[in-house]
A and B are shown apart, each in its own frame.
Chain A
C-alpha cells in the first residue's frame, strides 16, 4: 500500500499567520491527493482535491500544490475557525491511505 507521510504532526500558529502542511507519498501518485479538515466530534470536510482544486464553498485562503510524491496544503492567513486537524488522502489507487494528520492549534 502507498504510505502518506504527513508533517508536522502538530503546529502552533496565530491568527493571520501563513501555514503549510506537507504530505509525501511513498511512490508517485500524479496529482491524486485530497485534503480534509476535521473539527472535534465532526466528520471531515473536503477542502482540496486533485492536489490543487478548491472544493466549492471553501475559502480561497486554502490552496494546495504538488505532484508526483510531494504535496502541500497552505492556509494564507489563519482565521479562528481554521484551528482543526488536517489530513491528506491519496486517491490514486486502492487501498486509499490517509496521512497521520496535523493538529493546528492556537499559539
Chain B
C-alpha cells in the first residue's frame, strides 16, 4: 500500500534552517509528482510546494518562495524540503502528499505529517 513517512522536524530558532525528508514506498515513486502541504496549529491546510515526477519542475507558494527548496532523489524514493530563514509563522505540521498523476491533478495520498516549531 502507498506509504509516505515524513521526518526531520523539531524545534528550530527563527532564522535557522531545517531539512524535512519524506520516504515513499508501495508505489513507483519516480512516476508521480509529490507535494508538501502544511497546517499551522488549529488552522487550515496550506499548499507549500510541488515537484514533478522527474524533478525538472518545481512550484512554490508565495509565502515560502525564495526560502524553501523542494527536491527529490528517485534512486532513494525520497522527497526533501530544505527550509531556510525560518519564521515563527512557518510553525506547522508538514505533510508530504502524492499527486495522482505525473502532471497536475489531485492529491490522493498523504503522510502522517511532521511538526516543525520555530521558536526562540
Which residues of A pack against B, CB within 8 Å?
A: 1, 34, 36, 38, 42-46, 49-50, 55, 87, 89, 91-101
Which residues of B pack against A, CB within 8 Å?
A: 35, 44-47, 50, 59-62, 95, 100, 104-113
Q: B46: which A residues are within 8 A, CB to CB?
A: 98
Q: B113: which A residues are within 8 A, CB to CB?
A: 43
Give A44 to B45 CA distance when docked, in angstroms. Answer: 9
Give A96 to B104 CA distance when docked, in angstroms. Answer: 10
> A94 is contacted by which of B45, B50, B95, B109 (Cβ under 8 Å)?
B50
Q: In the complex the two chains form, is B108's CB within 8 Å of A46's CB?
A: yes
Whether A101 contacts B111 in the complex (CB less than 8 A), given A91-B106, A95-B59, A95-B60, comes out as: no
Q: In the complex the two chains form, is B107's CB within 8 Å of A91's CB?
A: yes
Contacts between the two chains (Cβ within 8 Å), count: 57
Q: A interface, by DSSP: helix, strand, loop or mixed?
A: loop
Q: In the complex the two chains form, is A91's CB within 8 Å of B62's CB?
A: no
Q: B59: which A residues are within 8 A, CB to CB?
A: 94-95
Give A50 to B35 CA distance when docked, in angstroms. Answer: 18
5 A-B pairs with CB atoms under 8 Å apart are A46-B109, A89-B47, A95-B60, A99-B44, A101-B44
Q: A101: which B residues are within 8 A, CB to CB?
A: 44-45
Q: B112: which A residues are within 8 A, CB to CB?
A: 42-43
Whether A50 contacts B95 in the complex (CB less than 8 A), given A1-B62, A87-B44, A98-B45, comes out as: no
Give A75 to B108 CA distance when docked, in angstroms. Answer: 20
